[in-house]
Chains A and B, each alone.
Chain A
Amino acid sequence: MEIQGQQMTEPKAGPGLFKRNPPIAGEAEAIERAKAGDGEAFSKLYALHKRRVYTLCLRMLGNVSEAEDMTQEAFLHLFRKIGSFRGESAFSTWLHRLTVNLVLMHLRKKGLQLVSLEETINPSEEDAPKRDFGSRDVQLSGSVDRVALERAVASLPPGYRMVFVLHDVEGFEHNEIATMLECSTGNSKSQLHKARLKLRELLRQPEPMISGEMKETAL
């Protein structure tokens, strides 16, 4: 369990991550001022990043009150640790990694065994994505809008959703996800694949079929 130590490390951002997290105007200055204890600068950082941090928490946790609690935790953690930010990766990348680790710790405390993620979230055989895709009546390409995708993602089993959000949405690499989830990179890759298969299945269904009552709030 290296969460504590790892939380504040700053692996070099790959070009992909950098593209996802371009620098924000005025951010660097606000970071420097916040490091020096400037409260106004910290509130600016909060304003700049609250949406993405909160949305990330919401997607990982699936409910508003926990997501708000973890958003609060994340920014308090930031407040305490901002001095250790060295600018080796994009600030948002760093902040998101911190947030993900806090959320995962929270889930572990709640008793979710992330180590045995594979078992806990592996769907039963009948639920498993089918290997053979017979009907090809629906072409996904070009047909999926943001709302439909968001809904489908929200209805994924939690373990699938976690890996999908971390990899495909947030842009983390499999080795980072494996470390965060304490699983193998092989696990991470296969969970991601299963998540995408499940999404494909969900997205090919006619709209109302997408798993009953989606929590609007989790979208």
Chain B
Amino acid sequence: MTSHNEKNDSPMTCAEFQEHLPELFAAGSEGAMDDPKLLEHLKTCENCSALVRDLQYIADQARQLLEPTHDPSDNVWEKIKNSMAAEAPTPDLEKI
């Protein structure tokens, strides 16, 4: 996407930009984009900005999954109860 020849002041390529992504995401919002070259690439490259948007979106959506939807079957609690009773036979446990 970004083509360049000079070594130093040349704009970053997509591959170079994307190599920084794991660190950038891990750094979060604080000082993540302090490298002007990264920022510049993100602003000018549609490809990479869409990628960043999508990955951020996926990370945000993941929180939905925190709400669990599945229950263990009842016999899990039966087994726990039995093991607890065997380990610590207190009169109290019989009430469960």
Contact = CB atoms under 8 A, between A and B. Distances in A.
Majority DSSP secondary structure for residues of B touching A: helix
B5 to A, nearest CB: 19
Contacts of A203: 58
Contact of A146 (B65, B73, B76, B95): B65
A61 B6 CA distance: 50
Instruction: Give the contact-size bracket for chain B.
Output: 35 or more
Contacts of B76: 50, 54, 68, 71-72
B68 interface: yes
Contact of B59 (A72, A75, A168): A168
Q: A39, A46, A79: which has the most chain B beta carbons within 10 Å?
A: A39
B71 A50 contact: yes
Contact of A153 (B65, B68, B84): B65
A76 B66 contact: no
A199 B68 contact: no
B14 A76 contact: no
B92 A38 contact: yes
B15 A190 contact: no
Interface stretch (A105-113, A114-122, A133-141): A133-141
A60 to B, nearest CB: 13
A20 B66 contact: yes
Contact of B84 (A42, A132, A133): A42
Contacts of A190: 22
Given A52-B68, A169-B66, A193-B22, 18 more contacts: A39-B84, A39-B90, A43-B96, A46-B80, A51-B70, A54-B68, A55-B68, A58-B70, A71-B76, A72-B76, A136-B47, A139-B54, A140-B58, A144-B58, A169-B63, A197-B55, A200-B51, A203-B58
Interface of B: 1, 14-15, 18, 21-23, 25-26, 46-47, 50-51, 53-55, 57-59, 61-66, 68-73, 76-77, 79-81, 83-84, 87-88, 90, 92-96
30 contacts: A37-B88, A39-B90, A40-B92, A42-B84, A43-B77, A50-B77, A51-B68, A51-B71, A54-B71, A56-B68, A75-B80, A76-B83, A76-B84, A79-B80, A131-B14, A132-B15, A139-B50, A140-B57, A141-B57, A149-B61, A165-B65, A169-B65, A170-B66, A171-B66, A174-B26, A189-B26, A192-B26, A196-B59, A199-B58, A203-B58
Interface of A: 20, 37-40, 42-43, 46, 50-52, 54-56, 58-59, 67-68, 71-72, 75-76, 79-80, 131-134, 136, 139-141, 144, 146, 149-150, 153, 164-165, 168-171, 174, 189-190, 192-193, 196-197, 199-200, 203, 219
